[in-house]
Amino acid sequence: MKTAEPDYDVLIIGSGAGGGSAAWALTQAGMRVLLLEAGPRFDPQHDYRLDRADWELRSFPVKAGSRRRHTVAGMQALDPSYAHLRSWNKLHGASNTGDRRRPVGYSHVCGVGGSTLHFTGEAHRLHPRAMRMHSDFGVAADWPLDYAALEPWYEQAEDLIGVSGPAGDRQRPRRRGCPLPPHAPAYASARLIDAAQRVGVHFQPNHLVALSQPYDGRPGCNYCGQCRRGCPRDDKGSVDITFVRKAEATGRLTLRTGCAVIAIQGGDRDRIVGVVYRDAQDQEHHARAGRYLVCAGAVETPRLLLNSADSRSPDGLCNESGQVGRNFMETLFWGSSGLFPQRLDGWRGLPADVICWDYNAPDAIPDVIGGVRMSIGTLENDLAGPVNHARRVAGGWGRQHHQRMLQTFGRVITLNGIGEFLPNQDSYIDLDPREADTLGQPLARIHSHLDDMALRRLDFMAGKIRELLRAMGVEELVEEHGSYDLFNCSHVFGSCRMGSDPQRSVVTPGLRSHRWRNLYIMDASVFPSSGGGEAPSLTIQALTLRACAGIAANR
């Protein structure tokens, strides 16, 4: 192992929504920060090749170290009473022909900016009542702070990023509007808004990190629709080109990529004394700081803590409550795609540019606890270009294929829904007893279980989305998929829950470990509840900025 380098004020593990915003907040406060990122850096101008003819054959680029391995435990048997929620494609049949849920994967990016590199770019505040799930509904756990306490930090994050969106929505109070005006809805989205109004459902412009006009030296969006393949223009406010870039500009940030932390070391008097990490050349290093921030996400953070078990923490670091890895929550998802009577050319615009919050409140759906949101999803579901249309919609071959292609291309519309996921005892993260990474560290093993309330929520989403598509005039569905029979998540939460009770939580309301006086967790693993489908990144950033203000005030 190489000898220890100079100490830093703060050492941050992971540079996603939490780690990146922490790096900015703490360097702004004058602190020297070491940011260790296991993945690589991505160069927007060179890595995101949306200018190539074969753009559609490429997903978000994969580089060495940009994907972490994990395993998925055996999945539950499918409840036959919800068989109408099976995933299918009109050409290819059922996506899962078995009688158990099938794992597809946990969609993430490991790199500077984390999963914000490939995300759609939604910038959502949490519904205030989603923070009181236990008090109001007897489920999950309450957040140890309320919406009013978080609002100033939402504003700070929105200002830094340049969030574009409407002045408010019916669900979330706002003291002030967004820094930038909302994007005008795309043609397809405008048709959805009209049809939804006819059946009493309200869609509005979404809050997005894509810029609706030039801001802070970055250009406005040109509506190419491919946020999920990476933005080559810097108009999508991913963490690398916002928080991290500004942190680096202070001169107080040392950012090391390809550096995977393999252990966090606890010392006397409940203080962390350092971390061990491996660099891209497989050299081992030891680093020390006054404070340590773990920001690796709801799968990798518990993994690191559990892998840091030693004689002082036999059950894993920060795990005196037994809650590290527990209460895992995931994206609960449904999507339906069909053919609109005329061309929409839905490849134009922004993904999820309009959203419905009508059913987002925890008690908005009859006989169901936990809300949902719905949004247009053609771009997110990658049904925008000719390759995927041929593969998944037109099908066939020969002249019949050509006819079908000419008749249907440009007419696809997708509606997506994401819903609340309540923590349950069968959904958690632990260490795989058999599978390890190249460094010999046990992999995270994801245990995922849908409870009855999740199935009822899925059922509601599917029914409502199909109703909306019919209202639009869609007569032919071409594809549907959802969480009922497929485990395929991107938003993950809850596995190191925050709370005031050390027996029931891992970190305090200030995101500090209950035990370790200089260790913090700043990612979605601290969420006590998932919300009714809100994208988590803005809430992660707000929580982080708030916690970092506390650190800076007490330095």
Partner 1 sequence: MRIRRRTLLQWLLGLPAVLSGRLALGGPLGLSGPADPYAALPAWLDTLIPGSGHLPGARQLDIHRQLLRKTESAPDHARLLQAGCRWAEQQALAEHALSFGELDEAARSVIVARAEQQERRQLPRAFFELTLHDGMDFYYADPRVWPHLGYRGPPQPTGYTGYREAPPQP
Which stretches of the chain bind partner 1, using CB under 8 A?
Answer: 50-57, 91-92, 184-187, 190, 221-226, 232-233, 342-345, 347-349, 385-387, 389-391, 397-399, 401-403, 405-406, 409-410
CA pair distance 543, 525, nearest whole angstrom: 12
Q: Which is nearer to partner 1, 137 or 409 (CB)?
A: 409
Q: Which is nearer to partner 1, 39 or 225 (CB)?
A: 225
At closest approach, how far in Å is the CB of 230 from partner 1? Answer: 11
DSSP state of 181: P
Structure tokens at 288: 């020390």
At closest approach, how far in Å is the CB of 340 from partner 1? Answer: 11
CA pair distance 484, 487, nearest whole angstrom: 8
At closest approach, how far in Å is the CB of 447 from partner 1? Answer: 26
At closest approach, how far in Å is the CB of 234 from partner 1? Answer: 12
23 within 8 A of 29, measured Cβ to Cβ? no
At closest approach, how far in Å is the CB of 164 from partner 1? Answer: 15
Q: Which is nearer to partner 1, 345 or 437 (CB)?
A: 345
At closest approach, how far in Å is the CB of 75 from partner 1? Answer: 20
Tally the residues of the chain.
555
Q: Alpha helices of 29-180 — where are they, by DSSP H?
A: 44-47, 133-137, 147-161
Q: Which is nearer to partner 1, 390 or 471 (CB)?
A: 390
At closest approach, how far in Å is the CB of 382 from partner 1? Answer: 12
Determine phi and psi for 354, rounding to 5 degrees: -130, 150
At closest approach, how far in Å is the CB of 47 from partner 1? Answer: 13
At closest approach, how far in Å is the CB of 389 from partner 1? Answer: 8
Q: Which is nearer to partner 1, 190 or 309 (CB)?
A: 190
Q: Which is nearer to partner 1, 9 or 56 (CB)?
A: 56
At closest approach, how far in Å is the CB of 263 from partner 1? Answer: 36
Structure tokens at 69: 């391995």
Q: Which is nearer to partner 1, 267 or 396 (CB)?
A: 396
Q: Which is nearer to partner 1, 17 or 339 (CB)?
A: 339
At closest approach, how far in Å is the CB of 16 from partner 1? Answer: 25
Could you tell me which of 452, 499, 122 has the C-alpha nearest to residue 327?
499
Helix or strand holding residue 405 (H, E):
helix 398-408
Structure tokens at 130: 């989603």
CA pair distance 311, 301, nearest whole angstrom: 20
Residue 452's contacts (CB-CB under 8 Å, 6 or more residues apart) are none
Q: Which is nearer to partner 1, 187 or 463 (CB)?
A: 187
Burial degree of 38 (CB within 10 A; 0-12, 13-18, 19+): buried
Could you tell me which of 307, 273, 317, 275 has the C-alpha nearest to residue 507?
317
State the pairing for strand pair 260-266/272-278. Answer: antiparallel
Could you tell me which of 309, 294, 322, 297 has the C-alpha nearest to residue 504?
322
List the beta bridge partners of residue 161.
none
3-state SS track over 300-339: HHHHHHHHCCCCCCCCCCCCCCCCCCCCCEECEEEEEEEE
Q: Which is nearer to partner 1, 4 or 406 (CB)?
A: 406
| Complete DSSP assignment for 245-302 | HHHHHTT-EEEESS-EEEEEEE-GGG-EEEEEEE-TT--EEEE-EEEEEE-SHHHHHH
Q: Which is nearer to partner 1, 241 or 429 (CB)?
A: 241
